[in-house]
Amino acid sequence: MLPPVPMHVIATMHSAFPTKFGIPRQSGLVSELQSTIVFEPEYRNPDALRGIEGFSHLWLVWSFSKAVRKTWSPTVRPPRLGGNTRMGVFATRSPFRPNAIGLSSVKLKGIEETAHLGTVLHVSGADLLDGTPIFDIKPYLPYTDAHPDATGGFTQSYTGYHLEVIFPPDLLEQVPPDLRPALTGVLAQDPRPSYQDDPERVYGMAFGGLEVKFKVCEKTLAVVSVEKSSL
C-alpha cells in the first residue's frame, strides 16, 4: 500500500451558504453569487499570487468537509437522475467519494490587499459552503481546459431548471440589495432535492444571514417569508 499523501489547507471559502441546502449543483450556474477566498496565515505570501490577475477564471480544489465518510460506495444516486438510479461514483460529481475532494471553476472578480487577512480573492459563481477548506488554486486555461465538443454522458439531456421566482416586493425589501440577484438566481435553480415534489411543502434555505422560505408548484417558486437566520 502506498503511504498517505499529505494535504494542506491553503485557504478557506467565505460564502452566503452556512448549510448545504440551496448551494447550486455545479459551479457557474449562478454567476451573481459572490464569495471570498481567505488564505491561511502561512500562505499569505503575496508572491504566491504573482501573475494571477491576468487570469479571468480559476480552478479550486477543495474538500467536501461536511460529507467525509469512513467508507465509500462504488455507486451513487445522481440528483440529475431523480435520486433513484445508480451510477458509478467516478462517472458523477457526488460528494460521497473515496476522497471527498471537489473541483470548481470560478470567475476571479478582484484581488484585495487587507490589513489583517493579507491578500484575499473575490470570486463569483462558486458552489462552496461557507468555511469550505481549499487545498489548491490553479488558473483556468481556455486553450486547453475548454472542450466545446465534449459529451455530457447521462447529463446530456439536462436543459436547466430555471424556475419562475415570485418574490413579493415587501419580502424582497428585507433582502439587502447586493444579495437580491444572487438569491433570486439560487432560487431559480430549484434548491429542492430532485426527489421532492410536494407543492404544499414549505422549504427553508439559509442564505446571507437570512432564512428564506418558499413553495414550488410545477415551474413556479413562490417566496412566502424572509427572516433573519439564527445560523
Q: Sorting pLDDT into bands at 50, 70 and 90, what band is 166?
A: very high
> What is the dihedral sign for C-alpha 95, 101, 105, 110?
positive
pLDDT for the residue 147:
94
C-alpha triplet 123, 129, 134: angle, nearest 5° = 65
Region 111-125 average pLDDT: 97
Break the chain into its structural domains and give their ranges.
11-65+100-145, 158-228
Q: Sorting pLDDT into bands at 50, 70 and 90, what band is 5?
A: confident
11-65+100-145 belongs to which CATH class?
mainly beta
pLDDT for the residue 43:
97
> 2-41: string of b/e by CB count within 10 Å (b at 16+)?
eeeeeeebbbbbbbbbbeeebbbbebbbbeebbbbbbbee
Region 211-221 average pLDDT: 96
pLDDT tens digits along 19-35: 999 999 899 999 999 99
158-228 belongs to which CATH class?
alpha beta
**Which residues does 11 contact at the CB level (< 8 Å), separation at least 6?**
37, 38, 39, 40, 43, 133, 134, 137
Region 76-92 average pLDDT: 85
pTM of the complete model: 0.92
Percent of the chain with pLDDT over 70: 99
> What is the dihedral sign for C-alpha 153, 154, 159, 162?
negative
pLDDT for the residue 159:
63
What would the grid cell of residue 197 be? 415534489
Mean predicted lDDT score pLDDT of the chain = 93
